[in-house]
Amino acid sequence: MSKSARDVLLEGLDDLTDEQFKRFTDKLIDSRLEPRVRRGAVEKKDRLDVTRIMIDTYTEKRALGVAGDLLKAIGCNQPAEDLEKEAAALDLEEHKQPPHKEPEERPPPGPQPNTSSPLIHCTPQFKDKILKEKGQEIYPVLDKGVRKRLALLINNVEFECENMRRRGAQRDEENMEKLLRGLGYDVVKHTNLSGQEMDEALRSFAGRSEHKESDSTFVVIMSHGKRDAILGVHHKPDNPTDFLSVDRIYSHLNTQNCPALLNKPKVILIQACRGDEKGRVWVADSASEDLWNMESDGVWEHKEKDFVSLLSCTPDTVSYRHTEHGAFFIGFLVEVFNANAHKDHIEELFRQVMRRFENFQKLKQMVSKDRISLTKLFYLFPGL
């Protein structure tokens, strides 16, 4: 299996002496790059931790460039040159032409996704009008100049089993990243992760301090899957345990584990199934054995609230992907958001995506909304 950006960066840091690594982390902390890496985030952390932090902070491709610049700044020119060569080889590999189309992935009859149209921006007049009419029914949206929106994007393309390679998935990644950035989200991006690494990426994302200054988040995971799980890149018949349980996504982002996103919309784009966790959790400033003490410093909050999910297909059915243009689910979703996110709330946008699939004559795939716990309308107001 080909190297990922994570592998390249980790190998580059592993080649440093302890003294060089210490100078590297000091320079990383002192750099003026945004978003900033805080001293507490990397202090006393090993090379694997620093690799993860850099990718989470800068995205995979940018992290390699940042690492090369920092290595040069501390006089480690040969490690910097080696890293740049590995990054260049990785970039060439990503842009290779995909193999010929497989018969089952040819475009089916019906309207095809159009992802080339630009995202239409919302007008201040519309925003003022809708807030005046339905202000109490709409999730608060912070001003563009003060908020820090984050989105998580995981795309598994290369698998240990050659015949599991998800051709065309790179196009999905490009389209989704462009859409999310257009909607005002900084994108934390990962590719080719195992089930455990997906879980770690979700845990790290849920702990990001930016969520405190955000009004919402998106989590997009693209991979092979089963009814209740997302497969890691090492999944194969003799290793069927490499997967991420879909419930873990909600667990990491729920009120208990991600209080910074309390009462804020959390949009999940993934195959998913329902769970049976208890419906509420105690949130308090300090622990208390008497949960019914009304004079306590805490309040009851719903354990899982303000989620909305769109699944690429209904349970037990397949999800189609074109080997050049990507998944129909992602294609139609990007098309609908580009055209209508400036005037429609998220559940209406999801309904429109469902209608796009309904118009297919022979493609027996239907996306479905799932695990919805939104209590208000979520307007994205792109551009504002």
Q: Are 222 and 168 in contact (CB under 8 A)?
A: no
Active site residues: 224, 273
Q: How many CA atoms lie within 13 A of 207 on its CB side?
A: 10
| Ramachandran quadrant class, 75 (left: phi over 0; alpha: psi -120 to 50; beta: rest) | left
Strands 243-245 and 266-269: unpaired
Decide: 2 and 93 in contact? Cβ < 8 Å.
yes
The residue among 70, 63, 80 whose CA lies nearest residue 22 is: 70
Q: What does each C-alpha distance from 235 to 14, 96, 164, 241, 333 come to in angstroms?
A: 27, 24, 9, 7, 28
| Interatomic CA distance for residues 205 and 57, integer angstroms | 10
Phi, psi of 250 (to 5 degrees): -70, -35
Cα–Cα distance between 81 and 99 in angstroms, integer?
32
As given in the structure block, the two tokens for residue 8 are: 């390249």
